[in-house]
Chain A
C-alpha cells in the first residue's frame, strides 16, 4: 500500500495536482514558527524513550526524514488555515507516567464487549480483555510493526509515526467474524504529557470486526495525543470503526486514519465528540477494489472555546464503488468547527456514486463554522453530490413545540437531539451509545432522561 496521490500517469490530472500540492505544501513557514516547531521536535526526540526500541525503525526513520524536509505547518498553508499549531508547539511535552493511579474511572462501565486499555500510550494488560480464538490475532502494534505510517501525507501524521507508542494490532483471518466489538479505551493523564497510540486492523476476505476508540483525558490533564489508525479490508470484509472523544482535561488531539478497501468491502466510520478542547481528524479512505462501500458519519456539539476539525478524503480509485458521508454539527458559544470533505474520483473510476453532506446549526452568536466540500472528479460517468448547510435552529419547529407546552430549553434540546440522532444511533448499544447520550445530556440537556422523555420504563 502506498500513500501517495498520483497514479494516473505522467502529465495526467493527478500528476498536475500533485505538483501543485507539493508546491503548496512547501510554502515556507514564518521563521518564528519554523524555529518553534523544530525546537518542539528536538525536545521530543530527546525525551522519547520509544525511539529505536522496536522493529519499526524504517518507518520511523522515513518519518524523521519527512519532518526534516517539510515546513512546520502554519496558517498560510490551506490545510492548516483554521487549525494553527502555535499553542501546541509552544509547550514542552513529555511522556506520561506509566503507572496507573488507583481508583480511576472506567469509560463505559456497562460495556460487555472486549476492552483494551491504553494508558498514556501503553497497554495495560491487567485491565484489558481481548479476543482469543482461531483466526483472530491480537498483539501489540509496537512489537508487530507492520504499519505503513503517515509521513507521505502530512506533517502531524509524520510526528505521530515518528513517536508512535503502543496500540492494537488486530488481524482477522478470511471468513472469520469477531464475536463482539472491541472497545479501545485510550486515556491521557498528566500535565503537559504526550501520547502517540498507534493501531492497525487487517481484515481478511469476508472477515468482520467492529472497533470503538474511546479517548479520554482525565480532569486536569493537559498535553497532546497523536493517534494513528490503519485499516486494511480484504474482499467483502466488513469493518466498523467508531471514534468517541470525551476529555475532561484540556488536550490537543490529532487523529490520522488511513483505510484501504478491496473489492466488495464495507467500512463504516462514526465520529462523535462529547467533550474535546481541540481535535483535528485527518482521515483518508481509499476504495481500491470494485464494489467497495464507505460510509462516514460524524456529530460534534462543541461549546465554549472548543475547536473541532474534520478533514476527510474519500479516494475512488476504481469503478463501481460507493461512498456516503454525513457530518452534523451544532456549535455553541464561541466554538469553532471545520469540515473539509474531499472526494477524489480517478479517471478510471466510472460508475462511482459518492455523496457528501455536512449540516450545521450555529447556535452561539460568536460560534464559527468553516465547511468546505472539495470534489475532484476525473471520470465522466459518475453520480456525485455534496451539500453543506449552515443554519440556525428552526423557529417554526421551536414555536410549535412551545405551543404544546414544552419549555424553550427543552424544545431546543429536542431539536438538537433530532439533528444528530441518526449519528448517535449508529453507535453500538450496550454501553457506548448510552454513555455518549449521558455525556451530551449533561452538557446540552435532553438526550436522556433522568426525568425527560427517552426513558420508557416506569
Chain B
C-alpha cells in the first residue's frame, strides 16, 4: 500500500528526514514512535503534501502511484487521509457542507455522480454514530468551538466518511481523556479491513493498547532505527528512548 524509499525532506535549510524507509502492506496497522523532534509529524506532513516541506530525495509509492507527483487534493482523492494533530477551525463553513464537498470531490475523481442529499445524510447518521459525534457538532462550523476531544472525534468521523485506503493518524491521542481515547480507537478499529492500511504516529504506548499495531517502528533523527512487533512499544514505554539513542550514536 505504501512504500517509502530513502526519503529526504527539509524545511528551509533544516533537513529533517534523512533517508527514511518504510513499507506498509495492505490491511496492516503500523505505528511510528520516537522522541520529540525526530521527524514524525514531518513525515505525516510530507505524505499529505504540505508545501512548507521540500522533498530533496527518495520516492513514495502509494498503491502503484507516485504520491509525490500528486497535488494535495489528488492525494486525498486517491485515498490518502491525514488525521491532523491540530485540526483546523474554519469559522462559517458548516461541517456538513465541508464533508459533502470533500466526498463529492472524491466521487468526481472516481468518475461517480455526486452523492444525493438523502444518501449523504444517511451515511452521516451511520458514521457519526461510530465516534458518538452528536447532531449539535455535525451542524456547527468545521471544528469551531470544539473541545480537543471533539476535534479528534471529528477527524475520525471524516475518515469514516471518506473511506481512505491509507489513513495517517498524527498524534490523534494527544489531548484525549480515557473515554475519548476509547471512542476514537473504536472508530479506527471499526475501519480496519484487509484493503485499508493505517500509519499511527504516537508518543505513547497507551494508544496502542486500543489500536493494536502489526508493526512498530522507532523514528530517530529522520530515519527508522528500529522495527519490531507490537511488543516493541511496551519495551519503549518501559525503557524510554535512551537505549536506542545510545545505540545509534
Instruction: List chain A positions with a Cβ less than 8 A from chain B.
Output: 394, 396-397, 399-408, 410, 414-415, 417-419, 421-422, 451-458
Contact = CB atoms under 8 A, between A and B. Distances in A.
Contacts of A451: 104, 114
A419 B91 CA distance: 8
A405 to B, nearest CB: 4
A455 B121 CA distance: 13
A349 to B, nearest CB: 33
Nearest to A407: B73
Given A410-B105, A453-B97, A403 B49 contact: yes
A454 B49 CA distance: 28
A403 B76 contact: yes
B92 interface: yes
Contacts of A419: 92
Given A453-B104, A457-B117, A458-B118, A422 B98 contact: no
A456 B117 contact: yes
Given A404-B162, A407-B105, A397 B90 contact: yes
Given A394-B90, A404-B105, 15 more contacts: A397-B88, A397-B89, A399-B72, A400-B87, A400-B88, A401-B90, A402-B72, A404-B76, A405-B73, A406-B102, A406-B105, A410-B101, A418-B90, A418-B92, A419-B92
B135 to A, nearest CB: 15
Contacts of A456: 117
B50 interface: yes
B154 to A, nearest CB: 11
B84 A400 contact: yes
Nearest to B51: A399
Interface in B26-67: 48-51
A405 B102 contact: yes
Contacts of B75: 403
Given A396-B88, A415-B93, A452-B101, A404 B158 contact: yes
Interface in B94-150: 97-106, 109, 114, 116-118, 141-142
A415 B90 contact: yes
A453 B101 contact: yes
A300 to B, nearest CB: 17
Contact of B50 (A399, A422, A454): A399
A453 B115 CA distance: 10
Nearest to A402: B72
A453 B49 contact: no
Contacts of B93: 414-415, 417-418
Contacts of A417: 92-93
B169 interface: no
Interface of B: 48-51, 71-73, 75-77, 82, 84, 87-93, 97-106, 109, 114, 116-118, 141-142, 158, 162
Given A397-B90, A406-B102, A418 B141 contact: yes
Contacts of B105: 404-407, 410
Tell me whether chain B's interface is mostly helix, strand or loop, or mixed.
helix
Given A410-B105, A414-B97, A454-B97, A402 B114 contact: no
A361 to B, nearest CB: 12
A223 B69 CA distance: 52
Contacts of B98: 401, 404, 406, 414
Nearest to B159: A404
Contacts of B116: 458
A400 B98 CA distance: 11
Contact of B72 (A394, A397, A403, A457): A403
B146 to A, nearest CB: 14
A136 to B, nearest CB: 38
Contacts of A394: 90
A456 B82 CA distance: 27
B82 to A, nearest CB: 6
A407 B88 CA distance: 17
B117 A458 contact: yes
Contacts of B84: 400, 403
A458 B76 CA distance: 26
Contacts of B51: 399
Nearest to B118: A458
Contact of B91 (A407, A408, A418): A418
A405 B106 CA distance: 6
A338 B97 CA distance: 32
Interface centre among B97, B109, B117 (most CB of A within 10 A): B97
A405 B109 contact: yes
B117 A455 contact: yes
Nearest to B109: A405
8 contacts: A399-B50, A399-B88, A400-B142, A404-B162, A407-B105, A418-B141, A455-B117, A457-B117
Contacts of A401: 90, 98, 101-102
B92 A403 contact: no
B168 to A, nearest CB: 10
Interface centre among A394, A399, A452 (most CB of B within 10 A): A399
B76 A402 contact: yes
A153 B101 CA distance: 49
Contacts of B162: 404-405
A133 B106 CA distance: 56
Contacts of B97: 414, 453-454
A406 B117 contact: no
A406 B73 contact: yes
Contact of A453 (B82, B87, B100, B142): B100
